[in-house]
Amino acid sequence: MKLSIFDYLLGKGVLVFLGILSAWTVSASTMEECYRKADGYRAYYEEGCSWGYVSPQWISGTGDFWYTSYRDGRKSFLRVNSSDGTKEPAFDHDHVAEELNRLSGEKANPAWLPFDVITGTPESLRFRVKDKEFCYDTVGKTLSPAPESREIQHKPNNPNCSPDGMYEAFVKENDLFLRNSKNGMEVRLSSNGTAENPYCLPVFWAPDSKGLVCCRRVTAPVRHITLIESSPKDSVQPRERSIPYVKPGDPLDVVRPILFGTEADTGIEISFPEPEQQFSLGGIRWLRDSSGFTFDYNKRGHGSYIVYKVDRENASKARLLIEESFPTFVNYTRLYRHDLEDTGEIVWISERDGWKHLYLLDAETGKVVRQLTSGEWIVKKVLHVDAGQRTVFFIGCGQTPGEDPYLEKLYRVSLDGGTPICLTPTNATHGIDFSPDYSCFVDTASRVDMPPETSLRDARTGREILKLEKSDITPALKRGWRPPTVFCGKGRDGQTDIWGIIAFPPNLVPGRKYPVIEYIYAGPHDSHVPKSFNMEHEMVRYTELGFIMVMIDGMGTSNRSKKFHDVCWKNLKDAGFPDRIAWMKQAAKKYPVMDLSRVGIYGVSAGGQNALSALLFHPEWYKVGVSSCGCHDNRMDKIWWNEQWMGYPVDKSYEECSNVVNAGKLQGKLMLILGEIDDNVDPASTRQVIHALEQAGKDFEFVLITGAGHTMGGKFGERKRRDFFVKHLQGIDPPNRNAAHVPAAKTRT
């Protein structure tokens, strides 16, 4: 592997010879200039760069498409022919500019025409300039105002109407009724609905229009939280708002499906185990032949997710078709199901072997016909199931040894078995845009350290048909921009690979030591370290202030093995910190410019919880933290996210993970940021931390962002966060914003 000069010097320890490893210091005036550079980061480095992104506009009925290319100061509209692998200008740019000048009287520049998207057909293109639409005949080369579009107004699809249009279902006086669309007569299908136990829309009609499913709901009381906006723009007085907000442990509605015919007194309540233990019940799907339907049952606590099947001829009792069950949790938001009714099969995703993989199930029994993918890697997402070709296209991660296991690649696999074929083998993460007929796709390949390159590929073989665009970031590199460095270390067990990125200051001085800041979000619902290219990832601006920035996916986050993920179970305070700390220690051995005696951390939402947890549970490592809108006690936050990872019923683990309960452990420097009308995380979550810190006699800083919801802090919060790190990790007083005259705030009326 070819090493850069930087890696070579660091790896060989030559920096010791180059100078004393002293702390990096800078004057306050220099720091003001650094702040300005941080504010203008993207504009400064991106100027003059060109990007290899392509947004295809697929041409109806073909595998061809148009796209707009921005390169060398020109905006060009190109047409790609997928069959012969060629591209050419979509039209005569000079002539269109001349015609626009003639029709509009405005000077149009052929190198930068005043529109960005073209539609229509290859022979008759349409585009909009300001509020006018034009049509360009590419054969006759004439431009004219486009005729007014006479779009057909389709009647919105009403799920409560039967497929044959004969009936409309509706609820009146908490009961279910049908109205005959021909004679207007009403039939009352139920008579036992009450305000506490009503029948609810929508209904789910059988394809033959002879039956329908309606859910009856036992309603639970709903908790509300009150938000107070102190300084509304249109009022002197504060404004109060109450919103529904269900929290862990709160009672939930219980839903029961009822099968009806189209006559009165035909209702059959479906029996299934533990209906009162449901977190949710839904996903009702009729079979195409109307012989029955299925529904999904998500047991509270998320340890079990079941698909039940109801046979219409024996409808009183549901039978178990598919079950996912774990001692910890089922990650139900990542399940996938595709029914192949012609062959009586179901494509299903499961982690039952410890990794997320595809299975082919028997649609009648739910038994596994065959496992379609296997191994120590995951199927992240299914993009398309082609029943005719018996092929599944999916995004997979981690199959290629030695590569970052989070990189997304496109695969296809046969429903009849066989080895999955990788269609995008490049060591990169791949953005995929399929043609409407799935014969080809546009592939955008990039990494955090590799700018995007886009090509057109064959969907059967992955063969590159045509290179489309390639980025050029030479201007940014000449100005000193440096991409994040991908680093892999071992986790807490000394065996598991932990992946992250490091962003170094642009003007890194060998021999100096730089404080380290971790930007954290350890929410178990996903992995969070960027994998695709971006000139300005969230954290990189701080490198202009003299910080080394890191992001890491520790154990407890998603998109690895089930065992890796399960670390979060009833243990959100862990947040992968033992892995993060081990990773940073290994990184510092390779890059000794990292000063691990000065480590800070910040994050928002779940990341806000993590940032404070770092200071409370690992004070020997994290010395300075900024926490924005954190869900600091999982009993205070929304039910669906917290019961997924912390379980039900609410037990001692919630208290053990609480930043409120553990606030007295604070040793480092802490700043709390809160949006006063946060409707995502109850603002009381942060205020309870404040109360606990006050009771414990702890010092901290608190920044309230008036009029803001769930926020990192906005412009003001960003400034306060930077100041806090500069002061406490570098020992420099931040710029004095009160030194100059500031106009008085306008008086509100």
Query: pLDDT for 245-302, tens place per residue?
Result: 999 999 999 999 999 999 988 899 999 999 999 999 999 999 999 999 999 999 999 9
Q: In this predicted structure, what is the pLDDT of residue 329?
A: 98
pLDDT mean across residues, the chain: 93
Q: What is the pLDDT of residues 74-110, one digit of tens each?
A: 999 999 999 999 999 999 999 999 999 988 777 899 9
C-beta of residue 91 within 8 angstroms of C-beta of residue 104: no
Q: Which two tokens stand for residue 660?
A: 């409120």
Percent of the chain with pLDDT over 90: 88
pLDDT exceeds 50 at position 3: no
Average pLDDT over every residue of 355-380: 98
Crossing angle of helices 577-590/606-617, nearest 10°?
80
Average pLDDT over every residue of 477-501: 97
Helices (H) and strands (E) in the chain, counts: 13, 42
- Length of the chain (residues): 749
Considering the four listed CATH numbers 3.40.50.1260, 3.40.50.1820, 1.10.10.10, 1.20.1530.20, the one that applies to the domain covering 480-730 is 3.40.50.1820
Buried b (16+ CB within 10 A) or exposed e, 325-344: ebebbbbbebbebebbeeee
Determine the Cα–Cα distance for residues 249 and 280; give it in Å rounded to an integer.
14
pLDDT exceeds 60 at position 670: yes
Q: What is the pLDDT of residues 524-572, one digit of tens each?
A: 999 999 999 999 998 999 999 999 999 999 999 999 999 999 999 999 9
Q: In this predicted structure, what is the pLDDT of residue 174?
A: 97
Crossing angle of helices 577-590/5-12, nearest 10°?
100
Dihedral pair phi/psi, residue 503, rounded to 5°: -115, 120
Name which residue leads in pLDDT, 72 or 360: 360
Q: What is the pLDDT of residues 678-707, one digit of tens each?
A: 999 999 999 999 999 999 999 999 999 999
Whether the upstream peptide bond of residue 202 has omega within 30° of 0, thus cis, is yes
C-beta of residue 259 within 8 angstroms of C-beta of residue 315: yes
Average pLDDT over every residue of 389-418: 97
Query: How would residue 15 be classed by pLDDT, with cut points 50, 70 and 90?
Result: very low
C-beta of residue 603 within 8 angstroms of C-beta of residue 627: yes
Q: In this predicted structure, what is the pLDDT of residue 265?
A: 84
Crossing angle of helices 714-730/28-39, nearest 10°?
140
Determine the Cα–Cα distance for residues 490 and 411; give it in Å rounded to an integer.
28
Q: In this predicted structure, what is the pLDDT of residue 747?
A: 44
How big is the CA angle at 538 (ends 52 and 634), to the nearest 5 degrees? 130
Torsion angle of alpha carbons 495, 601, 559, 570, nearest 10°?
A: 90
What is the 3-state secondary structure of 165-206? Answer: CCEEEEEECCEEEEEECCCCCEEECCCCCCCCCCEEEEEEEC
Determine the Cα–Cα distance for residues 261 and 266; give it in Å rounded to an integer.
6
Q: In this predicted structure, what is the pLDDT of residue 155?
A: 54
Average pLDDT over every residue of 631-644: 98
Determine the Cα–Cα distance for residues 608 and 672; give it in Å rounded to an integer.
9
Q: What is the pLDDT of residues 111-163, one digit of tens each?
A: 999 999 999 999 999 999 988 899 999 999 999 998 876 555 555 678 899 99
Q: In this predicted structure, what is the pLDDT of residue 699?
A: 98
Determine the Cα–Cα distance for residues 632 and 659; give it in Å rounded to an integer.
5
Domain boundaries, the chain: 61-145, 480-730
Q: What is the pLDDT of residues 409-429, one digit of tens each?
A: 999 999 999 999 999 999 999
Q: In this predicted structure, what is the pLDDT of residue 151?
A: 55
Amino acid letter for position 500: G
DSSP codes, 305-350 = EEEEEEEGGGTTB-EEEEEEE-SS---GGG--EEEETTTTEEEEEE
Q: In this predicted structure, what is the pLDDT of residue 580?
A: 98
CB atoms within 10 A of CB 157: 6
Q: In this predicted structure, what is the pLDDT of residue 19?
A: 34
C-beta of residue 670 within 8 angstroms of C-beta of residue 625: yes
Average pLDDT over every residue of 345-361: 98
Partners of 167 in the β-ladder:
180
pLDDT exceeds 70 at position 743: no
Determine the Cα–Cα distance for residues 108 and 644; give it in Å rounded to an integer.
56
Determine the Cα–Cα distance for residues 170 and 162; give it in Å rounded to an integer.
12
Determine the Cα–Cα distance for residues 576 and 562; give it in Å rounded to an integer.
15
pLDDT exceeds 50 at position 748: no
Of 662, 709, 713, which Cα lies nearest the Cα of 688?
Answer: 662
Q: What is the pLDDT of residues 24-62, one digit of tens each?
A: 455 666 888 899 999 999 999 999 999 999 999 999 877
Q: In this predicted structure, what is the pLDDT of residue 24?
A: 43
Determine the Cα–Cα distance for residues 122 and 135; give it in Å rounded to an integer.
11
Q: What is the pLDDT of residues 189-205, one digit of tens each?
A: 999 999 999 999 999 99
